[in-house]
Amino acid sequence: MSQEKKYPNGLRSYLETLVAVASEIDRQGYNISSALHPEFAIEWAEEFEHIHNGRIWDGEWLEEIEEFVHQKLAL
């Protein structure tokens, strides 16, 4: 898979999203086993990046990640 398809908004954006998603999982205090936590963070960061491909953020990025993770944890 090309880097462009895997990281549609660029590698830096993906890595920032990955860290934010992992932090938000921890912040919300959801009890995910330590073995599964990285897998969820990676999968959800990739999904978030694809959903918001090309979006220009205007300061609401963290709020969007908070809501996205909250919705995922509620499933």
Asked if 52 and 14 touch (Cβ cutoff 8 Å), the reply is no
pTM above 0.85, yes or no: no
What does the angle CA 8 – CA 14 – CA 18 come to, to the nearest 5 degrees? Answer: 145
pLDDT in tens, 13-57: 999 999 999 888 888 766 665 546 788 889 999 999 999 999 988
pLDDT at 4 over 70: no
pLDDT in tens, 56-70: 888 899 999 999 999
Asked if 70 and 28 touch (Cβ cutoff 8 Å), the reply is yes
Helix (H) or strand (E) holding 37: helix 37-51
